[in-house]
Amino acid sequence: MDRHAQSRLKRENAIWLVTAGRDLQPQAVPVWYLWDGTSFLIYAQPGIKVRHVRENPNVELHLNSDEAGEDVVRVSGSATIPRSQPPADKERAYLRKYRSQILNLGMSVEDFAAKYRYPIRVRRLRFH
């Protein structure tokens, strides 16, 4: 991965998470994420993303491209829902990145952590 892609992953606010469950029907949704240089951390509400990850750990992550459809950052990996991951309100780097957006939603960081209580960790990455 080049320095430009690394920089985008550090600074951008949202990434598209593509999952598919047992039915293999893909679903793409924009999510907040934390990139630590080796893995992605996403917090999710109970629902389809969590169900898909449990049924099929293979996921794709995509940043938005530029207007010409260039400047593409696309990653495939394996997702898990780790039990040992601290909740969002205890993850300092995540709060540094998203505290103001959480507060702009009219939520406290504790409310956000309670609502988005499932951490999704994406590892074994392959950049395309």
Residue reference for tokens 């950052």: 73
pLDDT of residue 65: 83
Phi/psi at 52 (nearest 5 deg)?
Answer: -60, -45
The pLDDT tens digits of the residues spanning 14-35 come to 999 999 988 899 999 999 999 9
CA-CA-CA-CA torsion for 99, 100, 104, 105, nearest 10 degrees? -20
Question: What's the CA angle centered on 105, arms 29 and 109, to 5 degrees?
Answer: 95
pLDDT number for residue 16:
97
Query: For 62-92, how does the pLDDT look when each residue is reduced to its tens digit (9 = 90+)?
Result: 998 878 778 889 999 999 999 999 999 999 9
Q: Determine whether domain 3-84+117-127 maps to CATH 2.30.110.10.
A: yes
Q: Where are the alpha helices (DSSP H) in the chain?
A: 3-11, 48-55, 92-104, 109-115
CA 80 – CA 58 distance, rounded (Å): 9
Give the whole-angstrom CA distance, residue 126 versus residue 72: 14
Task: Give dist(CA 57, CA 8) in Å, integer.
Answer: 24
- Please, what is the average pLDDT of the chain? 95
